[in-house]
């Protein structure tokens, strides 16, 4: 396939990009901000992505109207997002049968591909396939899914996503009930001596991010809090500062 300056990297190049992502060589407690484009204007995605150049990732919520009662976008749109996004793309697949579909998002050039534990048939096989394709492998847990059953799988993944709302919609209230699970997950990652990132997603804002950071999260998804702000870059900077100071507290 002919490649122009706008062409995304091939699989080998992509693996290199993934290895040099911000924070890849640094400690797991580094703060990373991943604004969710679910709260953006879908008709103007290119401009909306340009607003979050100060972030570490662009969080893209893929929903299939089966795993969650909502429908967003799929592979053809993600392929375009990867090409125009100013920052690496962090895909969150809220879909049935990720074993079948998730590898295609890695092949499309997503830097990170997160699938749900509740939907995966063979999570270890799938995580290994995503890594083989050059993506970071993420495992997501809904609020009621205990982390304990997945502790032995931590070496197989690059990120654990602990949902702080029931997946499906933006603009919901942060669930404090998940905070103890974040603490237990951070303790498990530390005990294993791993550099697995802990992502929180749902209701993350200037008034909740410190609690999540204090509990041990280091990757923060924020939809409404970033895209609802007039100054998205300013909102990203504020969230980053709040989380950093909570880590140093």
Q: Which residue out of 56, 64, 158, 201 is catalytically annotated?
A: 201
The active-site residue, picked from 30, 56, 61, 158, is 61
What the block records as the tokens of 49 is 């992505």
Bridge partners, 116 (sequence order): 140
Q: Is 61 a catalytic residue?
A: yes
Q: Which of 162, 85, 187, 102 is nearest to 137 (CA)?
A: 102
Q: Does 73 bind ligand DX5 (CB under 6 A)?
A: no
> What is the distance of C-alpha 40 from the center of its chain?
16
Q: Which does 202 bind (CB under 5 to 8 A by kind): Zn ion, ligand DX5, none?
A: ligand DX5
**139 sits near ligand DX5 (criterion: CB under 6 A):** no
Count the site residues for Zn ion by CB under 5 A.
Answer: 3
Contact between 56 and ligand DX5 per CB under 6 A? no
What values do phi and psi take at 88, rounded to 5?
-60, 150
Segment interacting with ligand DX5, rule: CB under 6 A, options 124-132, 149-157, 176-184, 221-229? 221-229
Residue nearest ligand DX5 (C-beta atom): 223
Nearest to 73 by CA among 57, 58, 95: 95
Annotate each residue in 16-55 with x if it binds ligand DX5 (CB under 6 A) or - if it does not, as one string: --------------------x-xx----------------
- Return the number of the residue (61 or 156) whose C-beta is nearest Zn ion: 61
**162-201 binders of ligand DX5 (CB under 6 A):** 165, 167-172, 201
Candidates 228, 224, 180; CA nearest to 203 is 224
Buried b (16+ CB within 10 A) or exposed e, 140-171: bbbeebebeebbeebebbbbbbbbbbebbebe
Q: To the nearest whole angstrom, how small is the minimum distance from the Cβ of residue 169 to ligand DX5?
A: 6
Is residue 201 within 8 A of residue 185, CB to CB? The reply is: no
What whole-number distance in Å separates Cα of residue 142 and Cα of residue 86? Answer: 29
Tokens of 225: 């809090």
Whose Cβ is closer to ligand DX5: residue 18's or residue 208's?
A: 208
The yes or no reply on residue 201 touching Zn ion (CB under 5 A) is yes
- Residues forming the active site: 61, 201
Chain residues binding ligand DX5 by CB under 6 A are 36, 38-39, 59, 61, 92, 165, 167-172, 201-204, 221-225
Chain residues binding Zn ion by CB under 5 A are 61, 92, 201
């Amino acid at each position: 396939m002919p490649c122009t300056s706008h062409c995304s990297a091939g699989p080998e190049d992509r693996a290199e990009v993934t290895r040099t992502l911000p924070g890849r060589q640094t400690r797991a407690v580094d703060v990373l901000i991943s604004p969710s484009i679910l709260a953006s204007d879908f008709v103007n995605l290119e401009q909306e992505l340009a607003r979050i150049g100060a972030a570490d990732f662009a969080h893209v919520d893929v929903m299939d109207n089966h795993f969650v009662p909502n429908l967003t976008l799929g592979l053809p749109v993600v392929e375009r997002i990867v090409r125009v996004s100013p920052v690496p793309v962090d895909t969150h697949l809220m879909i049935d049968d990720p074993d079948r579909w998730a590898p295609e998002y890695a092949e499309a050039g997503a830097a990170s591909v997160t699938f749900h534990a509740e939907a995966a048939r063979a999570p270890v096989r799938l995580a290994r396939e995503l890594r083989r394709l050059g993506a970071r492998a993420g495992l997501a847990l809904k609020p009621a899914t205990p982390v304990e059953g997945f502790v032995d799988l931590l070496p197989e993944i690059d990120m654990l996503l602990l949902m702080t709302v029931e997946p499906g919609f933006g603009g919901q209230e942060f669930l404090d009930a998940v905070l103890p699970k974040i603490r237990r997950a951070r303790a498990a990652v530390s005990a294993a001596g791993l550099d697995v990132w802990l992502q929180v997603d749902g209701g993350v804002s200037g008034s909740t991010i410190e609690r999540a950071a204090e509990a041990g999260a280091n990757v923060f998804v924020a939809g409404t809090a970033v895209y609802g702000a007039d100054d998205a870059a300013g909102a990203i900077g504020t969230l980053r500062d709040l989380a950093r100071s909570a880590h140093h507290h």
